[in-house]
């Protein structure tokens, strides 16, 4: 029989068998060693032993705390179980596809998760990035100019397609890559 780990799920625990590890490897591209290391880290982050990670636990990860969008990232990760944790971290692999990274970047900006980046979504994310370094007027001008520049169909919001057309995939790839071995 293969190695067994405990995998937390909603409200209960179940065993993660070697076959599950192999499945996670196929889904994520992580090695067995990386998955075991992530699992140990996940257990440490799950301080309440609920099988899910809290925002506070995520904010304690040094690799995330260096990012000005850490709060937004934490809310995207909040409440995930181990399998979901691995799937999300796979998006940060340096060799993850540009499409995967672009989709994740779009989700960061789509705060209300309606499939579009509205002026309010953009304002919220910019405020997270710059804090109080801009006046309300400067922020409003930046949001307005950005929406006007990227909104090619004139509906007052940025679609996923408009987002992809406007960002540099290489820059997104670089910004959404981290060494998972440091987790």
Domain ranges, ordered by start, for the chain: 1-90, 97-183
Q: What is the pLDDT of residues 135-182, one digit of tens each?
A: 999 999 999 999 999 999 999 999 999 999 998 877 887 777 766 655
- Give, to the nearest 10 degrees, the angle between helix 98-109 and helix 119-130: 90
Helix (H) or strand (E) holding 15: strand 12-16
CATH H superfamily, domain 97-183:
EF-hand (1.10.238.10)
Same fold, 1-90 and 97-183: yes
Torsion (CA) 80, 83, 87, 92 in degrees, nearest 10: 80
Mean pLDDT of the chain: 81
The structure's pTM equals 0.74
CA-to-CA distance for 42 and 122, rounded, in angstroms? 31
Out of 8-12, 27-31, 60-64, 111-115, pick the least confident: 8-12
> For domain 1-90, which architecture applies?
Orthogonal Bundle (1.10)
Query: What does the DSSP 8-state code read for residue 181?
Result: G
């Amino acid at each position: 029989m293969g190695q067994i780990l405990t995998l937390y799920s909603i409200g209960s625990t179940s065993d993660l068998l070697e076959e599950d590890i192999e499945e996670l490897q196929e889904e994520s591209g992580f090695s067995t060693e990386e998955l075991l290391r992530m699992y140990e880290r996940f257990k440490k982050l799950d301080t309440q032993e609920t099988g899910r990670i809290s925002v506070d636990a995520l904010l304690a990860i040094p690799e995330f705390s260096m990012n000005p969008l850490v709060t937004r990232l934490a809310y995207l990760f909040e409440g995930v179980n181990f399998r979901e944790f691995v799937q999300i971290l796979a998006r940060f692999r340096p060799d993850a596809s540009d499409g995967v990274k672009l989709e994740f970047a779009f989700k960061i900006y789509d705060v209300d998760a309606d499939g579009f980046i509205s002026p309010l979504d953009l304002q919220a994310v910019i405020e997270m990035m710059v804090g109080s370094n801009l006046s309300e007027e400067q922020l409003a001008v930046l949001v307005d100019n950005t929406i006007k520049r990227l909104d090619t169909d004139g509906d007052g919001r940025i679609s996923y397609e408009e987002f992809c057309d406007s960002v540099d995939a290489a820059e997104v790839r670089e910004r959404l890559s981290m060494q998972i071995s440091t987790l």
